[in-house]
Structure 1
């Protein structure tokens, strides 16, 4: 009799485990579809899904349309490369600015430490983020800060958690200037 009860208990636990794992995978699929739907609704944003770090549910390479001159938003445009590592719509966001080109979606120590979504930005005039017109007058910190502001304004439509900006070397300088020109964009 005791063996029979043990078998029934094991079957019951196995069935519950299967049901729970199915619910979690359904939630994961729903979350993945929600982020894709939200990204699709952003004007001037093209994206592809990328393989990413196992910390994240999904990773994307975004190409975001930017004005060459933010003082003339209807003028010449270029596409700026941004990597988005998505964990959860309600988690914090680490906005990581690179001072040069971005070859891959490098996860920052800070993003990993605070379990946050991450946005990793390539600098204008570098890598894939080059305008057709190389007018070097527009390669300046004020235009770069305006690029970062526009990216944050777009993605804040999706991510409602706290925002932190960071960068290393030239990216660190760009982070400081972005905060100087747009102090309300990030929380820290």
Structure 2
């Protein structure tokens, strides 16, 4: 399961902020008036609407929508408006095409900073307001359909930039996956991809990489302490479940449409706890792990809330917030179905740890691994100019893409979690990765 209580929540918050910016965009400033001819050309693109423009660092940030077919193979089935933004600096500079894989975020990405580039940021189809009217056709939210959305945006916007301008795609986590899928289906769109902490669940039934990660991450003492706390959370279910229910009541959380009961929601949250600790935390926090044998109920529950006990509830699932991700995971992306051997005998719901559990009935689906197998094979053998960055202590980095030998590279940031970045690599590797990006960008 993709743990979305940290990075994706930030992405979604940024998307809401970007939407608010678009709705209340200020008149063009002095910085934007110098780009009047560019803006006129932008406004003239068929199917593209400029919904607002504001200033970002002395350059115009355009908020836009583009009319996309619900099904690129059958355009007659209808359309929807997909949001994107364009931070324009110069038609001669490279363009970084960023997708977070969720709602819209126009936060400045690391490759954009390294290259002093323009940045085009896109909202993934069927997240936020980028949805068709009426019931959402979830079967049309495939990796190929989104890649085709992004291809349409590239084709629409590329003519505004110089012929020699290079285009590099980037994204983190699900965004890194999305950038990779775009490149697989439309390699002519891009001059390279920089994918951060992008999971590669090429064989969904094979979770040995994840199991190996949890057997080796950090120190044995830390792993044992975390496993003991996780088990104790279920051993003390009778006394801790009322605390969980009180939290849910205080926050207004419900579980009726997705997980069903508070007991199921509680167990699901506990199963995610150790994963979340490593995804967002660090080995330096191991000293905070309480002694499972002596810690009080109150202290155990409070520590867990602060260290990985993410609550999955109706308002952020289904068609809302992160729900569309779980539909994608259930249908194509895959998930980690961990064995949890240390929890034997204390689980009430042994089959709960899979994405359909957090989806309403009308969004549940069957998994097909065809697309993931195809992408994995292409990245290994046929791709070129791909750079992957992973975190040593990030559970999502346990199943990685293997780049080809065709001007492609993979780096692992020592001690890093799901926020691994090029800037945190050892100096020699950082310099090599940076030089690679600049070479791809023609700098």
Give TM-score scaled by structure 2 length.
0.35
Q: Counterpart in 1 of 2:49? A: 46
The two structures, once aligned, show a CA RMSD in angstroms of: 1.7
The reply on whether 1:64 has 2:61 as its aligned counterpart is no
Which residues of 2 match residues 172-183 of structure 1 at below 5 A?
172-183=176-187
2:166 paired with 1:166:
no
Q: Which residue of 1 aligns with 2:75?
A: 73
Q: Which residue of 2 aligns with 1:96?
A: 98
Determine the C-alpha separation between the residues in 2 that align with 1:32 and 1:62: 16
Higher strand share: 1
Greater relative contact order, per chain length (Cα 8 Å cut-off, separation 6+): 1
Alpha-carbon separation, structure 1, partners of 2:151 and 2:41: 19
- Partner of residue 120, structure 1: 121
What are the Cα deviations for residues 25-65 of structure 1, in whole angstroms up to 9, with x where unaligned? Answer: x9974x410111111110001113333421x5211111111
Partner of 2:249 in structure 1?
none
Query: Rg: which structure is higher?
Result: 2
Aligned to 2:151, the other structure's residue is in SS state helix
Instruction: Give the Cα separation in 2 of the matches to 1:109 and 1:152.
Output: 20
Deviation per CA, 1:125-178: give whole Å up to 9, x if none.
001211114011101101000001000010111123110001111111111111
2:132 and 2:87 mapped to 1: Cα distance? Answer: 25
Please, which of 133, 145, 150 is the counterpart of residue 152 of structure 2? 150
Q: Return the structure number with greater helix share.
A: 2
CA 1:78–1:27 in structure 2 vs 1: closer, same or farther (change >3 Å)?
Answer: closer
Q: Which residue of 2 aligns with 1:108?
A: 109
Q: Distance in 1 between matches of 2:99 and 2:170?
A: 6
Any gaps of 5 or more consecutive residues in structure 2?
1-29, 193-443
Asked if the contact 1:52/1:105 (under 8 Å) is kept, the reply is no
- Structure 1 stretches of at least 4 aligned residues deviating more than 6 Å after TM superposition: none
Q: How many residues align?
A: 160
CA distance in 1, matches of 2:45, 2:77: 20
